[in-house]
């Protein structure tokens, strides 16, 4: 119905009931009372109609004001970038479909916060300071060398949710108990995305320099890993002695995702300290890979750190390949999309052409999925890990210059998200298995049937909700959250499932459940101004890092001064565990 139209009668016809002659044959008192009643009713009806109309007009004016504010912000960014306190009134420029915080979202967000409190409280009670909690046996385990992985992974989640008491207690542990001098063979990748990323995010959010100091300390211990003939890093390093090597099972090769998923964190560290050495190490990796980057932008999962040559190995957007492609896009976003980092975007767009060549659709239901490639053959298999791709593609779709390309990739993202949601819906527990196979006439079937509380599908639902405003993605996310509550929550935390068909539980609460899964659930039901996609970019462990404009010289300025804190709302990976 057009604005200003009426659903019943016309203005002139309805007012005839207000004419006293209409009631001459009725008792006088009754007639007068009836006149008053009818007239007041029509006045009230007209007032309500006008209010509704004005609400629509106000909403449209607010949208126009928001668009103007975003335009001004964009102009300011082009003149040198912004930093400091986030304005909670600012909307994401990717979508003007942001809506007011509604009661259902508030209720769901509070339930997610309560889930975080349950997970954190269990960790605090049974595994404080250790890497991860084993909820069934009620003890901690140091699966990452005793670096407090869950605690550091949770810092920004606690801060964003407004859990101040818990955040401050964790902060004191970081300041007084976190020790990196460990005789431990650490994954450079895992330590970077969880520990370096977690500390930098806590710094960007709170402005507390203790987090930056600790990030510098652990990053310096990781730097010897890049001392190879090509600068492509070894993936394992002893934190105490600084000796680096690759795992034996790779045949001495470096892993693509492990070598191409430190760029965000180390570039940000250079920006915050003014010391270029971190940025130079990780950007050299991309420069080396770009020398022989194929036209389809697809690289095998093994890279020789001595020659830089890609080995004969699978190509996948799942385990050991995934986050390399993610960081090509996100480094470009984190640098505010300037010309100095355009080669990242160019490489990513090539990779999206390659991804398109791996797309197939199942029968009979036409689920869209991403194949894996080995040599000239394709395998109809997709990891749940690859369910980060719908969110990445949606995020990148807004950077295409051609509207047709933008719409094509956004549509692909939506199709893939539907498939990933059905990874969950297709099992008795409504939780997804680790990977799926597609067979002609049979659609999808679970391959490896465990679920370890992974976040990738929820991550993509978050991006698609933010970028399209389509509440369907919130509903899908809520269904998945309820399935976690039903199947994974126990008295002493959250556990994964050994089998999504039987529902048999395991004994591990992965650190990324608090860092990623619960954070993305919380943001899925938060206003778009909370960790705005205009101001923040998420690393692959869901740690938000501030966007800072990159110029040709590489750095905006030394950002080592005390950060202004972020204002809160009221209150990948590989065949690995993360």
Sign of torsion over alpha carbons 383, 385, 387, 391: negative
Sign, Cα dihedral of 554, 558, 563, 564 = negative
Of 186, 195, 196, nearest to 247 (Cα)? 186
Q: What angle do CA 306, 309, 314 make, to 5 degrees?
A: 120
Cα-Cα-Cα-Cα dihedral sign, residues 19, 21, 23, 27? positive
What distance in Å separates the CA atoms of residue 95 and residue 489, rounded to the nearest whole number? 35
Identify which of 397, 393, 417, 395 has the alpha carbon closest to the alpha carbon of residue 407. 397
Sequential DSSP letters for 558-577: ---SPPPPPPPS----SSS-
Among 322, 384, 499, 516, the active-site one is 322
Distance CA 266, CA 147 (A): 19
Mark whether 434 is an active-site residue.
yes
Give the position of tokens 């479909």: 97
Helix, coil or strand: residue 337: coil
What burial class does residue 491 get, using C-beta atoms within 10 Å of its C-beta: 0-12 exposed, 13-18 middle, 19+ buried? exposed
Give dist(CA 64, CA 20) in Å, integer: 47
**Helix or strand (DSSP H, E) at 132:** strand 132-134
The residue from 156, 190, 459, 541 that is catalytic is 190
Residue 456 known to be catalytic: yes
Whole-angstrom Cα distance, residue 236 to residue 174?
A: 24
CA distance 173 to 548: 29
Calpha distance 54→58 (Å, rounded): 6
**Catalytic pick among 156, 456, 499, 506:** 456
Residue 540 known to bind ligand:
yes
Q: Choosing from 434, 499, 506, 516, which is the catalytic residue?
A: 434
Residues placed in the known binding site for Ca(2+): 540
Residues placed in the known binding site: 540
Question: Where in the sequence numbering do the catalytic residues fall?
Answer: 190, 322, 434, 456
């Amino acid at each position: 119905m057009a604005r200003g139209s009426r659903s019943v009668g016309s203005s002139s016809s309805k007012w005839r009931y207000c004419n006293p002659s209409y009631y001459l044959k009725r008792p006088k008192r009754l007639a007068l009372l009836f006149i008053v009643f009818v007239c007041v009713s029509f006045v009230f009806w007209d007032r309500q109609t006008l209010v509704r109309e004005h609400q629509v007009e106000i909403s449209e004016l607010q949208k126009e004001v928001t668009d103007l504010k975003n335009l001004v912000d964009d102009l300011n960014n082009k003149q040198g970038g912004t930093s400091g306190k986030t304005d909670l009134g600012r909307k994401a420029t990717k979508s003007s479909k942001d809506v007011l915080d509604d009661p259902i979202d508030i209720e769901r967000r509070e339930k997610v916060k309560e889930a975080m409190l349950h997970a954190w409280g269990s960790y605090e009670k049974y595994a404080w300071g250790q890497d991860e909690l084993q909820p069934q046996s009620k003890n901690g385990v140091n699966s990452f060398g005793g670096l407090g992985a869950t605690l550091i992974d949770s810092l920004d989640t606690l801060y964003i949710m407004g859990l101040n008491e818990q955040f401050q207690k964790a902060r004191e542990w970081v300041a007084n108990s976190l020790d990196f001098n460990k005789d431990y063979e650490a994954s450079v990748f895992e330590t970077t995305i969880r520990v370096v990323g977690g500390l930098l995010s806590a710094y960007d959010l709170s402005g507390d320099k203790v987090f930056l100091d600790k990030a510098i300390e652990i990053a310096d211990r990781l730097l010897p890993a890049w001392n190879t003939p090509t600068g492509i890093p070894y993936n394992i390093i002893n934190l105490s002695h600084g000796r680096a090597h690759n795992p034996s099972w790779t045949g001495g090769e470096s892993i693509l995702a492990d070598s191409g998923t430190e760029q965000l964190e180390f570039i940000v560290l250079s920006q915050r300290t003014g010391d270029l050495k971190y940025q130079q190490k990780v950007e050299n990796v991309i420069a080396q890979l770009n020398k022989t980057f194929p036209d389809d932008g697809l690289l095998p999962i093994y890279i020789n750190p001595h020659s830089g040559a890609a080995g004969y190995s699978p190509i996948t957007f799942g385990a050991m390949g995934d986050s390399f492609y993610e960081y090509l896009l996100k480094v470009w976003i984190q640098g505010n999309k300037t010309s100095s980092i355009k080669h990242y975007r160019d490489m990513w767009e090539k990779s999206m052409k390659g991804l398109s060549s791996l797309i197939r659709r199942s029968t009979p239901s036409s689920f869209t999925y991403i194949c894996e490639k080995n040599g000239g053959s394709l395998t109809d298999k997709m990891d749940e890990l690859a369910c980060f791709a719908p969110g990445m593609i949606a995020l990148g779709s807004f950077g295409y210059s051609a509207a047709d390309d933008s719409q094509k990739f956004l549509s692909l993202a939506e199709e893939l998200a539907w498939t990933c949601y059905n990874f969950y819906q297709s099992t008795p527990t409504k939780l997804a298995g680790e990977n799926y196979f597609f067979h002609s006439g049979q659609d999808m079937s679970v391959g490896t049937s465990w679920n370890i509380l992974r976040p990738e599908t929820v991550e993509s639902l978050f991006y698609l909700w933010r970028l399209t405003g389509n509440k369907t993605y919130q509903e899908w996310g809520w269904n998945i959250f309820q399935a976690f509550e039903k199947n994974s929550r126990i008295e002493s935390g959250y556990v994964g499932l050994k089998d999504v068909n039987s529902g048999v539980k395991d004994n591990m609460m992965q650190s990324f459940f608090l860092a990623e899964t619960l954070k993305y659930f919380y943001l899925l039901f938060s206003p778009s101004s909370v960790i705005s996609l205009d101001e923040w970019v998420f690393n692959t462990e869901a740690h938000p890092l501030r966007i800072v404009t990159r110029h040709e010289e590489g750095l905006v300025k030394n950002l080592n001064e005390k950060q202004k804190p972020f204002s809160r709302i009221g209150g990948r990976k590989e065949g690995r565990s993360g």
